[in-house]
Amino acid sequence: MNDSPLDARAVFGTALVALCGLLPVYVLGSWLDQRLTDFDHSGWYTVVAILTILVWFAAGLRAGILAPRAPLSNAAIGVLLAFVLFLPVRVLLWLWRSDSKGLFTGPRPLFAIGTLVASALVAMVIAMIGALISSRSIRGRITAGDEPARRPRTGFDPSEERPDSTGQGAG
């Protein structure tokens, strides 16, 4: 028997949602960065950032749905897996753009270790928030529908007055 809180289906489902969402968002951001003269200070930068946050959140929602017993760990691992799997895509887009930005060095490298670690942590936290919300929603629906029927007390006649209510109320 497996006692691990990690569910492979939830981890891979989370990673799939994240990858499918990140690809178009990153391509859009890359295309806009190439077309606009000052992408980093334009309103489009904010739009791409919000879309990225929504992708991480949606991936977390998926983790919470697929693994309501352990949503946080499944969301964090799934998003981290997607983050790592997406790095080669970033390299390919970097090669496609062929701008003067360095891969690991230069004034604004594509991969700065601090930025990568911070981005991965932010992605995991956002996904964990989504997973927590969706798992609470799922758990709430499960417990509301599974409320056991109340059994009548034995030896109790409802027409009789309860002993603790004598002298109270109309009568």
Q: What is the pLDDT of residues 85-143, one digit of tens each?
A: 998 888 887 777 666 667 777 666 777 788 889 999 999 999 999 999 998 877 666 55
Whether residue 2 is contained in a domain is answered as no
Whether residue 67 is contained in a domain is answered as yes
Whether residue 153 is contained in a domain is answered as no
CB 63 within 8 A of CB 137: no
Q: Is the pLDDT of residue 148 over 50?
A: no
Q: What is the pLDDT of residues 23-74, one digit of tens each?
A: 999 888 888 877 888 877 888 888 999 999 999 999 999 999 999 889 999 9
Number of structural domains found in the chain: 1
Whether residue 151 is contained in a domain is answered as no
Domain containing residue 44: 8-144
Whether residue 102 is contained in a domain is answered as yes
Q: Tell me the C-alpha distance between 66 and 74, whole Å.
A: 9
The dihedrals phi and psi of 149, each to the nearest 5 degrees, come to: -70, 145
Whether residue 124 is contained in a domain is answered as yes
Whether residue 162 is contained in a domain is answered as no
Whether residue 167 is contained in a domain is answered as no
The maximal CA–CA distance of the chain, rounded, in angstroms, is: 91
CB 19 within 8 A of CB 84: no
